[in-house]
Amino acid sequence: MRLDRLVSEGSALTRSQAAKAIRGGTVTVNGVPVCRPEQRVDENTDRICLGGKPVCYQRFHYYLMDKPLGLITASRDREAGTVLDLLPAEVKKQGVFPVGRLDKDTSGLLLLTDDGDFAHRVISPGSHVNKIYLAEVEGTLLPETVLRFREGIVLKDGTECLPAKLEILRERTCLVTVQEGKYHQVRRMLAAAGNPVVTLRRLQIGALRLADNSEPGTWRQLSEEEKAKVFL
């Protein structure tokens, strides 16, 4: 890849700032100062330094966010704020997008990445990645609803859902585990059972769980270990 692209993607610099830094002589490749932004480098083997510090180039980026209520899970929205508004410019420039969707009125665990294959593997029902939601509902949760979820509940419009797990924690509080992500899926499943959702929060994707003291609106990079947990 081009040296200016690698320096830009591995630092907070824009592409033109990176080119300027290279021309200014602050970038070395394997210890040798270089001044041509268009020089080709190998991101796997070449050691690139900017101002004496190694540039950590990553092919793909992975973030965990605790989505707050009120933001849309989209990359762009004309009227409402999106989850990307929480990220600084240097992360946005990586081209990250949300992995699947949480409704505006749902909070909790949301992954963001620029790795399309990873996103597809998380979302696709064929990957069997569990998504666990904590719901507060209206009415009383009934044991027979557990069975209906297990067999694959039919939504009010006739849509058949894949088998899902409902755990009743209290009269109006439950955990719902699904592997698919239809539009408003958990809300519609619980509404079909006569328990409209009051609040909904995603706690877990695969074996990756939000910390109990996680604060909505916070985000951070995902470690390699956490990334692997998504598929456990």
CB 198 within 8 A of CB 136: yes
Known catalytic membership, residue 4 = no
Separation CA 41–CA 27 (nearest Å): 12
Q: Which of 46, 77, 103, 114 is flagged as catalytic?
A: 103
List binders of ligand URA among 162-221 (CB under 6 A): 184-187, 200
Please identify, using beta-carbon distances, which residue of 41 and 122 lies nearer to ligand URA.
Answer: 122
- Which residue in the set 11, 106, 145, 204 belongs to the binding site for ligand URA (CB under 6 A)? 106
| Residue number with CB closer to ligand URA (106 or 179) | 106
Q: How far is the CB of 62 from ligand URA (least distance, A)?
A: 20
Give the integer Cα–Cα distance in Å for 196 and 134. Answer: 13
Only segment of 5-13, 28-36, 76-84, 100-108 that touches ligand URA (CB under 6 A): 100-108
Query: If you search the block for the tokens 């824009």, which residue do you land on?
Result: 14
SS3 sequence, 108-164?
A: EEEEEECCHHHHHHHHCHHHCCCEEEEEEECCCCCHHHHHHHHHCCECCCCCECCCC
Question: Is residue 65 near ligand URA by the rule CB under 6 A?
Answer: no
Smallest distance from ligand URA to CB 183, Å: 8
In the bound state with ligand URA, the residue whose beta carbon lies nearer, of 106 and 113, is 106
Scanning the chain, the segments in alpha helix (DSSP H) are: 3-9, 15-23, 89-92, 116-123, 143-151, 185-192, 224-229
Question: For residues 7 and 123, which CB has a smaller minimum distance to ligand URA in the complex?
Answer: 123
State which of residues 102, 110, 112, 137 lies at the interface with ligand URA (CB under 6 A). 102
User: Which region, left, alpha or beta, applies to residue 212 given φ > 0 means left and ψ of -120 to 50 means alpha?
Assistant: alpha
Contacts of 24 (CB under 8 A, 6+ apart): 35
Please state the closest distance from residue 73 (CB atom) to ligand URA, in A.
8
Judged by beta carbon, residue 55 or residue 197, the one nearer ligand URA is 197
Q: Which residues are catalytic?
A: 103
Which residues sit at the interface with ligand URA, rule CB under 6 A? 102-103, 106, 184-187, 200
